[in-house]
Chains A and B, each alone.
Chain A
Amino acid sequence: MNGQGIGQILVWCAVLIALAYPLGLYMARVYMGDRFLVAGWAGWLRWTERGFYRLIRTDPKRERDWKAYAKTLLIFMVLFWLVVYGIQRLQAHLFLNPDHLQAVPSHIALNTASSFITNTNWQFYAGESTMSYLTQITALAVQQFVSAAVGMAVLAAVVRGLARRSTKELGNFWVDFYRSMVYILLPLSLVLAVILVSQGVPQTFGGHVSARTLEGVAQTISRGPVALMIAIKQLGTNGGGFFNSNSAVPFENPNGLTNFFESISILLIPAAQIFMFGKMVLARRHAWVVFSAMFALFLVGVAIALPSEQHGSQVLRASGVNITQGHGQSGGNMSDKEVRFGIANSALWATATTDASNGSVNGGHDAYTPAGGAVPLVNIFVGEVIFGGVGSGMYGLFFYIVIAVFVAGLMVGRTPEYLGKKIEAREIKYAAVGALFVPTMALALTAASVVTHAGLASVFNPGAHGFTEALYAYTSQSNNNGSAFAGYGATSFSASLGAVAMLFGRFAPALAALALAGSLAGKKTAPASAGTFRTDGPTFAVLLIGVIVLTAGLMVFPALTLGPIVEGLAH
């Protein structure tokens, strides 16, 4: 067994928890507008914050109800969509284009704009040969900050809805947005970016290098302002890299150390926000229970992916080459994986990046073994709630929590309560829409893509694996993950269908979560009684896992049998 690899994974888990817990408490203080932000060394930050509010003429103390909050957010996103689309189409005529790249084709630009404003970062293009430096930094990387901050803002509003009583107000969108950007994402990204650039991730506007190799052949080496983009790509659950092969490329991820911090960053904020929530609603034990449930699901993924990849694919096992770990190699399924990461760090990354809605990769998921590739697929399909996206993971999880509480209420025979609030028909409706809309859409779009000639044109691999490519593509885009079985090709059909998936997949659950929070904020809280189902014990953790597995797992199972399961049975 892979002892060294498992050791690395255990250290990784310990560091993740050690960083996520204090970060979560800090984030809670940021959104509660704690005094520390006003005083001392951070005073000047407060000054720039006031400047921002003055510039956009908002009164930070004026809070809004869920509808007004959602309206502001949607208008903001529509404008940014236009900007991202426009810059891609005009990049040939703009500055910072040292490699003289042409305008991005309209269907790719449409897909990419939808992809980046929704925190998906699905990439139907090869970054280094399609996007100018200007597009990368002002259109795409800005969205990696903005889309993350918008998700976090929505979560802050939703958590306030759970914490408050008898009110309509959830908060001020601009305040939550600004604080997410400046007090959370910016400092974390700068720290990670400095680590990355020190280890060899480029940060230059110098354009590509023309080298003459040792054997005297010309070689083009693309570079760019990479490090800062990779930092926010990892921290903001974005996942869209500078280069086509993402964090498998040494210029994005040069060694074991960068891989460690980049993969920790995938789950850092999503894990922290559970503790943030616990502090804001004064339910720390409940937060630990939720964290444990999610962590258990994460470990199950690793425990399946790691041995599957180490065991190797059918083709490699049959080939006769040496796939045994040890004696100077990590062995296993090294197809589309990098030597410096080996099997353990690749399997860990693939699990983390799909538990969170990150979607960055350090190896090609298309080449994973049937079981190893099914883990990311199922992780995404359950709705990006196993930690999930920044903001979106936690507010998505509330749908399942509410359903779990409801199921428990049915069993006990009482009106279900959550955090002292009665869960009634209206809340269940919002939660059901939030939990079921996206997986239903993912299956419908997959079906549409495999029964049409236009859809089938995108499939790359033959047989059952080709179906898995399509299923993965629409599951990933609908759930705003962005990782791919990357053989799946861009056509105007698949690009447009994907854009629809990403936009609805982002905003339908966000609106449902805000509506749910708005409804809960208006309720009174009642003290817990002997008949209240407790949400701060292990029973609830088991129930929550059960609800997630039954709701999403059963929806994806029939599709799994057509893809990875058939493939796994093949020789």
Chain B
Amino acid sequence: MVRDLRASVVAVVVVTALFGLGLPALFTGFSQLAFKHQANGSLITENGRTVGSRLVAQAFTKPQYFHERPSATSPAYNGGGTTFANLGPTNPDLAKGVKQQAAAILKLERPYNPGLTIHQIPVDAVTTSGSGVDPDVSPAYAQLQAHRVAAVRHLPLPTVQRLISQHTDGRSLGFLGEPGVNVLELNVALDKETK
């Protein structure tokens, strides 16, 4: 008993020091040297100002920007407090949220896209993401928004569509995962194009 206790105390201290402090310190040092940009959060800087991270969604409300998927965090797109919405598949609140979001999209997009109906809205546009900070929208949702963004910015539609395809992350290695359009990078590129 005493033998075991003594061995355990020493092992707890040794393991905590090596695996809890030494290892993370060494690995952080390595990461900062080898992958500095990624290790610090893939931040995007414009004119010396940090405008966000390519891996964290942010709020877009103005019509000249592409908008993100809905977010359940509080406030929305909180990069310091990720969360799911946790609404079950039959929850009335889910039905209400989807309906409201679809109505908001139709109201926003229809002036630029007169024939738009609810059946053309892709599902990711009306559902919360898992993290609340999903940086991507589906290519379908980006195409849907392209008409509005082109009209508001007085850009030809093909220019906007070219930018969408430039900022679409395809499947990794061509076959892993699903394609997504990185909204923040796309909007940064749009701002540059319009300048």
Contacts and interface: CB of A to CB of B under 8 A. Distances in A.
Given A245-B130, A321-B119, A259 B94 contact: no
A243 B82 contact: yes
A75 B5 CA distance: 7
A256 B14 CA distance: 37
Contact of A332 (B4, B10, B65, B123): B123
Contacts of A198: 34-35, 38
Nearest to B7: A56
A57 B10 CA distance: 10
Q: Which residue of A11, A208, A340 has the most chain B CB atoms within 10 A of its CB atom? A: A340
Nearest to B39: A203
A447 interface: no
Nearest to A55: B10
Interface in B60-108: 60-62, 65, 69, 72, 77-92, 94-95, 98-99, 102
Given A204-B28, A244-B82, A461 B52 contact: no
A315 B83 contact: no
Q: Which residue of B61, B82, B99 has the most chain A CB atoms within 10 A of its CB atom? A: B82
Given A250-B135, A336-B86, A221 B79 contact: yes
A273 interface: no
Interface in A232-254: 243-245, 248-251, 254
Nearest to B173: A257
Contacts of B6: 56-57
Q: Which residue of A320, A329, A339, A369 has the most chain B CB atoms within 10 A of its CB atom? A: A339
A486 B80 contact: no
A332 B123 CA distance: 7
A227 B122 contact: no
A318 B95 CA distance: 9
B125 interface: yes
A8 B14 CA distance: 42
Interface string B12-34: 10111001110110011001101
Given A72-B7, A198-B35, A193 B41 contact: no
Contacts of A487: 86-88
B90 A463 contact: yes
B1 to A, nearest CB: 8
Interface stretch (A359-367, A407-415, A516-524, A539-547): A359-367
B154 interface: no
B194 interface: no
A320 B41 contact: no
A416 B59 CA distance: 65
Contacts of B40: 202, 204, 206, 223
B157 to A, nearest CB: 16
Contact of A142 (B20, B127, B131, B175): B20
A220 B78 contact: yes
B51 A214 contact: yes
Contacts of A128: 80-82
Contact of B28 (A203, A332, A460): A203
B145 interface: no
B163 interface: no
A79 to B, nearest CB: 5
Nearest to A227: B31
B84 A316 contact: no
Contacts of A342: 177-178
Given A251-B56, A327-B140, A222 B80 contact: yes
A567 B129 contact: no
Contact of A331 (B9, B122, B143): B122
A249 B56 CA distance: 9
A369 B40 CA distance: 36
A256 B176 CA distance: 5
Given A214-B60, A366-B86, A370-B89, A209 B180 contact: no
Nearest to A213: B58
A213 B133 CA distance: 14
Contacts of B95: 315, 318-319
Contact of B50 (A57, A211, A260): A211
Interface of B, helix, strand, loop or mixed by DSSP = mixed
Interface residues of B, number: 108
Contacts of A215: 58-62, 65
Nearest to B142: A328
Nearest to B88: A465
B152 interface: no
A336 B97 CA distance: 13
Contacts of A138: 16, 20-21
Nearest to B139: A328
Given A56-B11, A215-B60, A255-B172, A340 B80 contact: no
A260 B171 CA distance: 11
Contacts of B58: 211, 213-215, 217, 219
B143 A328 contact: yes
A388 interface: no
Given A205-B28, A345-B177, A250 B138 contact: no
B43 interface: yes
B109 interface: no
A83 B42 contact: no
A205 B27 CA distance: 11
A366 B177 contact: no
A367 B84 contact: yes
A314 B89 contact: yes
A173 B49 CA distance: 54
A312 B123 CA distance: 10
A206 B53 CA distance: 15
Given A76-B8, A322-B122, A329-B140, A221 B28 contact: no
19 contacts: A55-B14, A56-B11, A58-B7, A126-B82, A138-B20, A141-B19, A197-B38, A203-B27, A211-B43, A215-B65, A316-B89, A318-B95, A321-B98, A335-B89, A335-B94, A337-B127, A342-B178, A486-B84, A570-B90
Given A141-B24, A328-B141, A329-B140, 19 more contacts: A72-B8, A79-B8, A197-B39, A210-B50, A222-B81, A248-B131, A255-B177, A259-B176, A259-B177, A322-B140, A330-B138, A336-B127, A339-B134, A340-B136, A345-B177, A345-B178, A364-B84, A461-B91, A462-B91
Interface of B: 1, 3-12, 14-16, 19-21, 23-24, 27-28, 31-32, 34-35, 38-43, 49-56, 58-62, 65, 69, 72, 77-92, 94-95, 98-99, 102, 118-143, 169, 171-173, 175-180, 184, 187-188, 191
7 nearest A-B residue pairs (beta carbon): A256-B177, A248-B130, A313-B89, A138-B20, A364-B84, A487-B86, A256-B176
Interface of A: 4, 7-8, 11, 52, 55-58, 71-72, 75-76, 79-80, 83, 126, 128-129, 137-139, 141-142, 145-146, 174, 177, 181, 186, 190, 193, 197-206, 208-215, 217, 219-223, 225, 227-228, 243-245, 248-251, 254-257, 259-260, 312-316, 318-323, 327-342, 345, 361-364, 366-370, 373, 460-463, 465, 468, 485-487, 567, 570
